[in-house]
Amino acid sequence: MALITSKIECEFSGAGLGWTEITADVLSPVSIKYGIHGSSAKDRVAGAGTMSLVLNNSSLNSANKEGYYSPGHPNARINWTIGLRMRAQFLDPATSTWYVKFIGYIISIKPDAGRYGSRRVNIVLGDWIEEAARSYISGVAAQINKRSDQVISTLIANVTRQPYATSIGTGKDTYAYALDSSRDDARNPVLQEIARVTQSELGYFYVKGDGTVVFEPRFARSTLVDSTTLDNTMAGLSLQMSRDNLLTRVQTATYPRTVDTSNQILYTLNNKSLIRVGESVTISAGYTDPNNRTARVGGTSMVTPVATTDYTANSASDGSGTNLTAFLTVSATFGGNAATIDITNTGSQDAYITKLQLRGLGIYDYGKTIGEAENTVLAAEFGDSPVLLDMRYQNDPLVGVKGAEYLLSVYGAEEIGIWYLGTDGSSNLGQTTQLAYWVQNTIGSVSISPQTPSLQTQILARDIGDRVKIIEAVTGVSKSFYIQSISLEVRAPGLPFVVWVLAPADSQIYWKLGQSGYSELGTTTRLVYT
């Protein structure tokens, strides 16, 4: 059986200007991990993906240069530095297809010291999720009447280093107000806001192996079919059949909001700050409730500061001196929950800022509304086991309730009949059958080694979001799951070993107008809220 071939490449000339292979200098192992690291109802956003590898830094590398991969070394490779984009490709010998399994940026370079030591360099790369986690909301206004995908796209655009590619599905929800909770003054990570939007949609957000950033809206997976079946061919199976995984109650938190109909003062500078001649200062201004200055609010339709109306300056702190307002230059960058105000004194006198305010329409969040779905029979037997999903930008409590019902149907336990032969010889279901409960999410992960050409293909072809069926004889598992995350390790040349973290697939088929197999209401399908 032919072995899988790997290829490691770098963009030394810059993004989009071509890839240069460095495989000859790569020393095993190569380790890759990316995707959504958990499998519960709350696990919907990927963590930072990583790839680690070791490079030959001795004079026996491809350039015959010691220190070739040590940044700052006289022999260092041109443009070899933190932030360089790299990718890993693998060739499936059965199909002659190359699969990209990781694209990311160097976040760590650690050369081993000592001329007579190992002379290796340990490299760690992060994917685009790493970029989103390290980037902060800046100047992003509150989003008014925008779909979840539109808000996601706005957030992605706020990251300096853009994704290699994107696949943003059209959201099911239009949010009356979103990002009104994001605080420019508190350095909220972009990824945090992406997570809020994704959970509000009950969608998924992740990066595929080929570097594509994906947003899946609610029910994007509802029409997926199994892309492959592992029928007793896996190397290992991690089961999670325990009481801890027995979900009996799902709660969803939604946040109804109101908004002002006329401009209100949402920020006031309380101090009479001195700004000296030629000095420029920047103020972080969080919006507050005009009737309760200790309470933070969102803001929209913010007004650019107007001289005299919104700001004044004077040579005296009490305003009794010379009016210097005309010598202040004031501008503001408005975010959803805070603004950045830039002030410059262009005059010939030091000036006290005697008045500074921001006006706009306040967005008021008066607390969460809890929607709930519960399996009361199961809770009575095994105890209460709740999970709370925070839908921060979902305004409609009904959507929250329906979402809770759906999640309980997928992640809860299902009733199964245990048949046995009755003493009277009867075997009629419903008369001699006892009910039991089976935990839906019985599999935490599955591991695969490339023992056959078919398994080689599955290791490389499958990615996050794919639906797969798992059949295992000893445990009796025979169900479909979605791949949440992928760990791939090249333990020996040509022999990558993969682990998939799995989440349960919905066993129901939902009604969809005009599509064969999905439009036979009551026969093969059931209705679903959208």
What is the Cα–Cα distance from 145 to 379, expressed in whole angstroms? 39
Distances (CA, A) of 399 to 2, 222, 266, 453: 52, 18, 31, 46
CA separation for the pair 140, 142 (Å, rounded): 7
Side-chain-side CA neighbours of 452 within 13 Å: the count stands at 7
Q: Whats the size of the chain, residue-wise? A: 530
Predicted confidence at residue 184, as pLDDT, reads 65
Query: Which residue in this structure is represented by tokens 């015959």?
Result: 64
Provide the residue-wise pLDDT of the chain in tens; the chain has 530 residues.
788 999 999 999 988 889 999 999 999 789 999 999 888 889 999 999 999 999 999 999 999 999 999 999 999 999 999 999 999 999 999 999 999 999 999 999 999 987 777 899 999 999 999 999 999 988 889 999 999 999 999 999 999 999 999 999 999 989 999 998 877 666 789 999 999 999 999 999 999 999 999 999 988 988 899 999 999 998 988 877 666 667 789 999 999 999 999 999 999 999 889 999 999 999 999 999 999 988 999 999 999 999 999 999 999 999 999 999 999 999 999 999 999 999 999 999 999 999 999 999 999 988 889 999 998 887 887 778 788 999 999 988 888 999 899 888 887 765 544 444 444 444 444 444 444 444 454 678 999 998 899 999 999 999 999 999 999 998 888 889 999 999 999 877 778 899 999 988 876 555 444 555 444 555 444 445 45
Compute the 3-state secondary structure of the chain and give helix, strand, coil in percent, each to the nearest 5: 15, 45, 45
Q: Where are the alpha helices (DSSP H) in 51-175?
A: 128-134, 148-157
Neighbours of 337 (CB within 10 A): 25
- C-alpha–C-alpha distance, residues 306 and 346, integer Å: 17
* Segment (H or E) for 198: helix 190-201
Q: What is the DSSP string of 412-447?
A: BEEEEEEE---TTS---TTTSEEEEEEES--EEEEE
pLDDT at 263: 97
Residue 157 tokens read as 């655009």
Q: How far is CA 175 from CA 6, 196, 343, in A?
A: 45, 12, 34
Residue 397 parent element (H or E) = helix 397-411
CA count, 13 A, side-chain hemisphere, 31? 7
The pLDDT value recorded for residue 185 is 65
pLDDT at 138: 82
Tokens 């006006």 locate to 359
Sequence-distant (6+) residues with CB within 8 A of 211 are 87, 100, 102, 103, 104, 127, 128, 163, 164, 165
Domain coordinates in residue numbering, the chain: 5-131, 135-216, 258-365
Tokens of 473: 């004889």
Q: Are 498 and 486 in contact (CB under 8 A)?
A: yes
Question: Could you tell me the sign of the dihedral formed by the alpha carbons of 247, 479, 241, 501, in that order?
Answer: negative
CA distances in angstroms from 169 to 152, 217, 382, 403, 466, listed in the order given: 10, 6, 39, 19, 16
- The CA distance from 174 to 357, in Å, is 32
Joined together, the tokens standing for residue 158 give 């706020």
β-pairing, 174-178 vs 120-126, is unpaired
271: exposed, middle or buried (Cβ count in 10 Å: 0-12, 13-18, 19+): exposed
- Fold for the domain defined by 135-216: Phage tail protein beta-alpha-beta fold (3.55.50)
Handedness of CA 237, 492, 22, 19 (dihedral sign): negative
Name residue 476's amino acid. Answer: G
CA distance 193 to 44: 13
Gap between the Cα atoms of 285 and 305, Å rounded: 13
Structural fold of domain 5-131: Thrombin, subunit H (2.40.10)
Residue 379, SS3 per DSSP:
helix
Q: Which pTM was predicted?
A: 0.87
* CA distance linking residue 263 with residue 303, whole number of Å: 9
Q: Which residues of 44-82 are buried (b: 16+ CB within 10 A; e: fewer)?
A: bbbbbbbbebbbbbbeebeeebbbbbbbeeeebbeebee
Residue 206 CA to residue 43 CA, distance in Å, equals: 11
Which residues contact residue 270 at a Cβ distance below 8 angstroms, ignoring those fewer than 6 apart?
A: none
User: With 0-12 CB in 10 A as exposed, 13-18 as middle and 19+ as buried, what is 304?
Assistant: exposed
CA atoms within 13 A on the CB side of 50: 11
227 near 466, Cβ under 8 Å? Answer: yes
